[in-house]
A and B are shown apart, each in its own frame.
Chain A
Amino acid sequence: MSSVEIPAYRMRGPSAFGGGARRFLNLAVLLAVTEYRLRFFDSALGYLWTLIRPLLLFGILYFVFSSVLEVDAGVEHYGVLLLMGMVLFWFFAEATGGAVTAVLDRENLVRKVHFPRIIIPLSVNLTALLNLIGNFVAVMVFIWAAGIDFRWTWLQVPFLVGGLFVFALGLAMLLSALYVPFRDIRPLWEVILQALFYATPVLYPIELLAKEYPEISKIVMLNPLAAAIQQMRHAFVGDDSQSAAFALGNGELLLVPVAITGLTFLLGLWVFNRMAPRIAEEL
């Protein structure tokens, strides 16, 4: 019947990927940006909130910890280090915690549109990344106020954030796929996040832990999240904060958090890829 011979192809079912790289990127970015914009939508100050909110929150934290409680732990620039840890931890919590219910929340899309399913956890992570960038601008204000000068190690930041992004994305894929058959994932992950918050040098400098319990502090540092936060602090303020390698006591041990990151990513990818074809019917 058809005059132009277009080769017929076999329809394949839903999958984690597929559908062309351009559509993949367009959709992932669009979903992420939309989600991000909706957050402050309709408020009088609009996008200004993405800067005002972290500035105010950080101001409170800074004030409470360094002026009221005076837990500067004898570390120079404690306030800035605290903010740096908070910002990265928030990113991690938002990217993974938000991903847990993400597939289910977008049930309407999943059931009615054919698109590469992996876009869902990816877009959640991209939204978290956009937030991180906004928060980081606010942190820079405090860094500037603390009189910390530019140093070349700041250039490590994109790589550290990149590594953390890969780690978070691996967990996001794993959690969002597993949540569909196992609804326990949500409360479980909330508890784990809370535990991770205290098991990561966010509120306390790693030096404080290392002084009391050197062995435990090394175990803590094997966590990719802890390694990223600690190295980030070091990159910004220099030797006032230990580098991740120094805190581990041995540079080669840095391979452990890197390996955990890579393995988590691959595991997440594998699980999500396996579950993607059936995810629409099991919602």
Chain B
Amino acid sequence: MGVESVSKSFRLPQEAVHTLKERVLHPFRRPGFDKLDALHDVSFEVETGEFFGIVGRNGSGKSTLLKCLAGIYAVDDGEIRLRGRLAPFIELGVGFNPEMTAHENVLLNAVMLGLTPREARRRYDTIIEFAELEEFTELKLKNYSSGMHVRLAFSVMLQVDADVLLIDEVLAVGDASFQQKCFDQFTRLSRERKTIIFVTHDMASVRRYCDRAMLLERGHVIDIADPEGISRSYNELNFGRIRVGKDGVKRKAGPGGSAEITLAWIENAAGERVGASAQGDPCVVAFEVKVNEELKEPVLSIAVLDEARNLVFSTYEDRPGTFAAGSTVVVRLRFENWLAAGRYTFTAGVARSGPGADMIDIRKDITSVVVHTTRPAGGAVNLPHEFSVSR
């Protein structure tokens, strides 16, 4: 898929002129429009079989771009070329009707997404099986939990015959085991040389899934790079270290504090960067600190939060030494992962030692991990344990 200098702007009426009366009262007044440049000269190429992420903050134009790619919006300028069949939708579960049963919704949705009715009936069992909803096919969708809803929608999507899939923010849903399944399916799709273009603002999913990603801000392409490079740029953008003017010119907003956390990731025991970790295995949280001024005996901290934003665990390293200006420090925390299954986010911090929390830099939710287990148990953690039963 190739995108060449695509631009798109919307006309925002300064005052909504929606009624005839207003037209009659002011027949010669052209309603004023503010022009909003949603996309400005966007160009990129996506290879066949690639998992390509489009990231950006709210209002950066990423969803607009996806709609242009899907052919829902017409572009003002530029050209979009593609090879193969494009999935015609950008969101899962479009057109699901809460009043109808899962069975009927699957058949309806599958046709909406491009299957013929006969194909939809033929693949129905596969869809239900993947969603693990065999017992609930005759239940109305309004009685479904949001997790079941998403599983169903995702399963339908997997059955759509398309070479290019466009997806808008959906992957961070479902429980850990379903996330694992989704991940496996994405791997399968990329083996089958399907192209996936995926919009998000969750850096953890970018790192987990994408081969490459693109960062958008105010409709301009800031960066196209591997997931790590993009995570770094995104962090810089978010913490105001890059500013983008209306003209799309990128400016470094001067050095940050005396040290900045630039990136964080999760590793497994073998030192490979991962997005998921099995319960009981060693797990490593790592973050990178760029030292701008000499850093004497800082306090490095990491906190772990669960999905309900409860603090599960936090720890710190006091007085690890002194680091010269201009150096890059990688901090690793290794722990045996006895967390209960679920999604956890990490917060990393650098502070000056001494009384009082003199934070130099703190990054909330800088990375995340999905913990999965084969033997679910209750509670926030599943400590290593042993039963003894005696009579």
Contact = CB atoms under 8 A, between A and B. Distances in A.
B80 A113 contact: no
Interface of B: 2, 10, 18-20, 47-49, 67-75, 79-84, 86, 88-91, 94-95, 97, 99-100, 108, 111-114, 116-117, 163, 193
Nearest to A108: B94
A11 B91 contact: no
Q: How large is the interface on A (under 10, 10 to 19, 20 to 34, 35 or more residues)?
A: 35 or more
B80 A38 contact: no
A114 B89 contact: yes
Contacts of B2: 8
Given A8-B2, A22-B116, A34-B97, A114 B71 contact: yes
Nearest to A13: B74
6 contacts: A8-B2, A11-B71, A13-B73, A114-B86, A181-B18, A280-B73
Contacts of B193: 2
B99 A281 contact: no
A280 B88 CA distance: 14
B97 A38 contact: yes
Given A41-B99, A109-B95, A281-B73, 12 more contacts: A1-B47, A2-B49, A11-B80, A19-B88, A23-B116, A42-B99, A113-B94, A114-B86, A115-B112, A183-B18, A188-B20, A277-B74
Interface in A15-42: 19, 22-23, 26-27, 30, 34, 38, 41-42
Nearest to B76: A13
Interface string A231-251: 000000000000000000000
Nearest to B22: A184
Interface of A: 1-2, 6-14, 19, 22-23, 26-27, 30, 34, 38, 41-42, 108-115, 181-184, 188, 277-278, 280-281
B67 A30 contact: no
Contacts of A111: 67, 72
A105 to B, nearest CB: 12
Top 4 closest pairs, chain A to chain B, by CB: A13-B74, A11-B80, A114-B88, A114-B71
Nearest to A10: B81
Contacts, number: 107
A112 B72 CA distance: 7
Contact of B88 (A7, A10, A38, A115): A115
B74 A14 contact: yes
Given A109-B95, A113-B89, A277-B74, A10 B108 contact: no
A114 B79 CA distance: 17
Contacts of A113: 70, 72, 88-90, 94-95, 112-113
B71 A14 contact: yes
Given A30-B111, A42-B99, A113-B95, A11 B81 contact: yes
Nearest to B81: A8
B277 to A, nearest CB: 33
A19 B271 CA distance: 48
Contacts of A22: 116
Nearest to B38: A281
Given A1-B48, A184-B20, A9 B81 contact: yes
A26 B110 CA distance: 11
B48 to A, nearest CB: 4
Contact of A112 (B80, B94, B108, B114): B94
Contact of B79 (A1, A6, A10, A182): A10
A41 B100 CA distance: 9
Contact of B73 (A14, A42, A181): A14
A236 B72 CA distance: 47
